[in-house]
A and B are shown apart, each in its own frame.
Chain A
Amino acid sequence: MPQETGASVKLNLEGLLCPIPVVRVSQAMKDLPVNGVLEATATDPGVLTDIPAWVKSTGNELLSMEKKDKVITFTIRKAK
């Protein structure tokens, strides 16, 4: 379950394989208000390209994406 933090949401997508991380992000973004921020952690390397592509195609904004050891952390702002 997404953990809500004010106008933002945190998701743990570690261990999930594509396309499920994208699917979970899309679902969680629906419940966010405009300008709300989603922060997620994932381990599937596909996330490194799939999430930026999804963000671009849906018109949202990728604020950050970094990888430390095996964990990828990214934040997205809901633009519309």
Chain B
Amino acid sequence: MSVGVTSLSLTDMKEKLKALIDRKQLASLEACVRCGICTESCHYYRSEPRLEHTPFYRAEQLRRIYRRLLDPIAGRFQRRGDSGTASAELLRRLADIAFSTCTLCQRCTLDCPFSVDTADIMRAARSLATATGSAPQMLVELADAAIVKGENIESFKDFYLDQVKELEKQVQDRLGSSRARIPVEKEGARMLYVPLSGAHTIVPQAVLFNLAEESWTLSLFETSNYAYFLADTSRASRIAQRIIAEAERLKVEEVVITECGHGYPVMRWEVARWLGRRLPFRVRSVIEVLDEYLQKGVFRVSPKGNGTPVTYHDSCNLGRKGGLFEEPRRIIRAVAEDYREMNPNRIYSFCCGAGSGLVAIPEWTDIRLRAGKLKAEQIRRTGARIVVTSCDNCRHQIGELNEHYGLDIEVTSLSELTVKALV
């Protein structure tokens, strides 16, 4: 599963840890008193109560390494039998904990009396695992493929443009208008829309943009950024810079990110911090744009288009981290007849169990399905037949939870729900 780490001298590991861990993460490591209040905040623990599923246990694994290598007092006392190396087993174990038993959802931080950010500590552990070659290979491959795509876009462009033409035909059929377009590389467009790879993040949005007579252009790239899950800011910056360069070249006013959990924070606030510069365009989620269209009455919708009960799952990235709570709810209330709130919700929502890259690692399918039990129970309690979410990872996971727990639901996005309500 991992890239093939062997072992590392403690001196090398110390240097890597020093370079990767920041003061905020150190403060979190020092502040935690292992009181255990965070225990019930974690969807892993709530779904499967085990010590290994507590946030404080996870953080403790990195804290031990920190104490051994960097703590000015504890580091003076070498342990009996200390081999002077960090074994491959230790690094692999840290990677497993950081990647498979924490989705970086930050739900535990809400309940911590000291606001210890365990997700941030796990991000440091992911960084260390990535830097030492013990991160999940699949995430590395997906990140590297995105970089290769960015560096060789001319080789892939023809395939993509042919496909966009076919999708454009679907948009024209849906709107009954041969004038509907999916523009690509349109210089001077107001908005660069960044989708995911699937047609479900292009066609419904293109229908709505055409109806709104939006000045837009479709990105050549997808918003997903698997290096963000690796906590590898160097690779993640390179992937995000594909979109920044495209937006700058086309001179757009804003970049609009499709319904994607992690793609939004990457472009909205992370990449500017990584690069140390302000981006020369505004960044919004497409759900903010849809909400604006509906509030201004740019096109007509009827709740009758969605008559079955609907609930909404707050993505951790868009909701708890991004603050997009009311926009999705306003959209659903405008386009569906029977909206049912899932509880707990908004900032207190629980993770679906597949965040931060878990969905892309087949070896951990069982882990994430077990961790999703809490979400499955919440969905069932609403009695809703349609679950809307604005994150593709959540969508995939809830789709699998549907099969695994027999929920009898349909999972969809806000864009698709809105298209169904068009009149």
Q: Is the CB of B198 within 8 A of A52?
A: no
A-B contact pairs, 8 of them (CB 8 A): A20-B396, A23-B362, A46-B222, A48-B160, A49-B197, A56-B152, A58-B144, A58-B145
Given known contacts A57-B147, A57-B148, A19 and B224 CB-to-CB distance under 8 angstroms: yes
Q: Which residues of B contact A58 (CB under 8 A)?
A: 141, 144-145
Q: Which residues of B contact A20 (CB under 8 A)?
A: 360, 396
Q: Is the CB of A57 within 8 A of B145?
A: yes
Task: Give Cα distance in the complex from A18 to B222, angstroms.
Answer: 10
Q: Is the CB of A49 within 8 A of B149?
A: yes
Query: 0/1 per residue, A33-61, Cβ < 8 Å to B?
Result: 00000000000111111101110111000
Q: Is the CB of B198 within 8 A of A45?
A: yes
Task: Give Cα distance in the complex from A19 to B395, angstroms.
Answer: 13
**Does residue A3 face the partner (Cβ distance < 8 Å to B)?**
no
Name the one of A17, A23, A52, A57 contacting B155, with C-beta atoms under 8 angstroms: A52
Q: Is the CB of B200 within 8 A of A17?
A: yes
Query: 0/1 per residue, B115-146, Cβ < 8 Å to A?
Result: 00000000000000000000000100110111
Nearest-Cβ distance from residue B227 to partner chain A, whole angstroms: 13
**Does residue A26 face the partner (Cβ distance < 8 Å to B)?**
yes
Q: Is the CB of B197 within 8 A of A17?
A: yes
Q: Is the CB of B156 within 8 A of A46?
A: no
Residues of A within 8 A of B (CB): 17-20, 22-24, 26-27, 44-50, 52-54, 56-58, 65
Given known contacts A45-B163, A48-B163, A49-B156, A18 and B147 CB-to-CB distance under 8 angstroms: no
CB-nearest residue of chain A relative to B197?
A: A46
Q: Is the CB of A19 within 8 A of B155?
A: no
Nearest-Cβ distance from residue B363 to partner chain A, whole angstroms: 9
Nearest-Cβ distance from residue A38 to partner chain B, whole angstroms: 15
CB-nearest residue of chain B relative to A49?
A: B156
Given known contacts A45-B167, A52-B155, A56-B152, A19 and B142 CB-to-CB distance under 8 angstroms: yes
Q: Which residues of A contact B200 (CB under 8 A)?
A: 17
Given known contacts A22-B142, A23-B362, A26-B141, A44 and B152 CB-to-CB distance under 8 angstroms: no
**Does residue B159 face the partner (Cβ distance < 8 Å to A)?**
yes
**Does residue B199 face the partner (Cβ distance < 8 Å to A)?**
yes
Name the one of A24, A48, A50 contacting B145, with C-beta atoms under 8 angstroms: A50
